[in-house]
Structure 1
């Protein structure tokens, strides 16, 4: 009989919309029990694995007042001490090399401590130098099952779409600047929740000046999202830096080609999904990049659907279950290799 593994997930719990949390936990086998993070649960209940995604969540507060910061950081210290005493494993899924918004000196010191205490790191892409004894690779999954039941729109020639949260590193300002000089026949939709009033004002001002720009500046339901993305000829993600992105996979899951920055990760994705689905820009997005991507897409439209079989969530769920099991064993037996072939084999 497979031993039961209890995992405390440091994520916002499912809320009825399509979220990464749902996709991560739904395909897990029955012997893996998932509970959602609260400080009370983290400091009082028993669990085998703490699964961390964006570790800055554990040390930042909203609102960021001094008393709240101090209380949260003291709780963080207590948590790491408790995990050490109870030999509880820490699994870290490395979504990004660094936080999107940098923190201060104290935060960086606390997160370095968490890094030193981490039992197993899950990487979403292969490491350039190969994986070490405490690393495994489990890619992000696709969204076909979650979004495939919603009605799709007819494609609108020349329609570009940006969707997702609007925050600094995602480069929506660069897209608006590039689109301002775009040729006739192109239109733009910006769909997503601005993370600051300044971002909202930027998009609204651009739309007032250019009637070709439309927007929905809020978190949208799945049916609205599917309608917006499938109407577009091309999804444009003008990120200043792109290491991993669920947004890219949402677009590809809905058979919408994407324009993304050229990085080793996006180049690898292009090879994985097949020709014509992933288009690139170098450096900072500009108007010529928009024109070139549309022209290339029309000259050689992709055939069939993007190849995403390796990102099926049942495969990913089984891989995470093996990773949790291996990490829990390793925490109780320090020195054991967490990704030994007999303990965890990542598909």
Structure 2
């Protein structure tokens, strides 16, 4: 790792301006653990996001995770204000030649956004100096710089919470409920499953209409328990550890913190088959990641549950490549790489 870096200021601190604010109970633990792992590195300072700090503060690198959050608002006026501030932020970063690093949590732009939002996100993309891939399956382009940093595990995050014994025949879904998460498909498939089994689907639906639809699908089957609200960490651990099998039937899955949560809590997980999940299966060891091809069916649920029940004692999932201490150091290295790339571009421009 380079040690003789140039400083924007005379002090010793390398300042990372993150795109997320001071964490709240609903903040993604990934962001909190990332900030903590960076703060543990001598000479590195992490700043949480405020518009004032991002526009007027002094820092070495801007790290953005979901740039669409910066340009969205709960009302048209608020969205317009945030979009104007984003333009100012990008101008400020360009003028001060501050590198942008972006973590590629998602492959595509969000659906249902305005043309103005789409244009700003494209501008953000063009101005980004380095992209962080969370797994090797994320596509790359020849004209971009990348760093590969695996998504860290959640073992330490959940270590303080008591775990429950798994309930025989219990399927569990947890997490934010969006259209692409496939919870409606899970409910429909489960209802066709005979026998003494149960399903607990827990998480906050993205819309009132989605919540109403799930209640209609679950009506009349007392084996289904719906908890349609945000789960704090203690309730999440309680819910997940009661599972015989966690089911995450996403129609789009590239980076899943949910799968890593289940594995961090030593619960097997059923996922749609794709190269990312096949890599995860090979990484953690046999008996933890199960995959299905095509549609989620009652037969898939029954067969996978039977496989889990018959597997016998096995070693815990191997998550050694996802330690947060290493992730923090790799992020720091990526920031330095982006800073050096920015300096090289400035030198090339000066040379004409």
Q: Same fold (TM over 0.5)?
A: yes
Within-5 A mapping of 1:45-60: 45-60=57-72
Contact 2:21 2:50 in 1 (8 A): no
1:143 aligns with 2:129: no
Find the aligned partners of 1:128 and 1:41 in 2 and give their Cα distance.
31
CA shift, 1:110, in A, is 1.6
Give the equivalent residue in structure 2 for 1:241.
252
Which of 216, 236, 249 is matched with 2:227 structurally?
216
For residue 46 of structure 2, what is the aligned residue in structure 1?
Answer: 34
Distance 2:122 2:313 in 1: 44
Please say if 1:105 is aligned against 2:119: no
Map of 1:84 onto structure 2: 94
- 1:15 maps to 2:24: yes
CA distance in 2, matches of 1:116, 1:224: 41
Provide the residue aligned with 1:340 in structure 2.
none
The secondary structure found in structure 2 opposite 1:27 is: helix
- Matching of residues 172-211 of structure 1 within 5 Å: 172-211=183-222
Give 1:197 deviation, angstroms: 0.6
Distance in 1 between residues matched to 2:234 and 2:335, nearest whole Å? 34
- Partner residue, 1:43: 55
Q: 1:161 matched to which residue of 2?
A: 172
Asked whether the equivalents of residues 5 and 324 of structure 1 are also in contact (C-alpha less than 8 Å), the reply is no
Indicate the residue corresponding to 1:5 in structure 2: 14
d(CA) in 1 for partners of 2:109, 2:140 = 23
1:13–1:281 CA distance, 2 compared to 1 (3 A): farther
Which residue pairs with 1:280 in the alignment?
291
Distance 1:171 1:209, change over 3 A: same
Kept in 2, the 8 Å contact 1:156–1:233? The answer is: yes
Q: Distance in 2 between matches of 1:55 and 1:173?
A: 29
| Structure 1 unmatched runs, 5+ | 337-347
> Aligned pair in 2 of structure 1 residues 246, 128: CA closer, same or farther (>3 Å)?
closer
Pick which of 93-102 and 1-10 moved more: 1-10
Q: Identify if the C-alpha distance between structure 1 residues 177 and 129 changes in structure 2 by more than 3 Å, giving closer, same or farther.
A: closer
What's the secondary structure of 1:209's corresponding residue?
coil
Whole-angstrom distance in 2 between the partners of 1:85 and 1:325: 19
Does residue 69 of structure 1 match 2:79?
Answer: yes
Cα distance in structure 1, aligned partners of 2:298 and 2:166: 22
What is the CA-CA distance between 1:163 and the residue it aligns to?
A: 0.3
Are 1:114 and 2:124 an aligned pair?
Answer: yes
Judge conservation of contact 2:18–2:47 (CA < 8 Å) in 1.
yes
Change (3 A) 1:106 1:129: closer
Structure 2: gaps of 5 or more residues = 5-11, 348-352
Looking at structure 2, the residues matched to 23 and 128 of structure 1 have their Cα atoms a distance apart, in angstroms, of 22
| Cα drift, residue 93 of structure 1 | 0.2
Q: CA RMSD in A?
A: 2.1
1:263 aligned onto 2:277: no
Cα distance in 1 for residues equivalent to 2:295 and 2:208: 24
Asked if structure 1 preserves the Cα contact closer than 8 Å seen for 2:184 and 2:217, the reply is: no
1:263-313 Cα offsets, whole Å, 9 max, x none, are 110010000000110011113212121112112222334611000000011
Post-superposition offset of 1:155:
1.3
Task: Quote the offset at 1:108 in angstroms.
Answer: 1.8
CA–CA distance in structure 2, aligned partners of residues 229 and 128 of structure 1: 28
Following the alignment from structure 1 to structure 2, what is the Cα–Cα distance between the partners of residues 77 and 129?
27
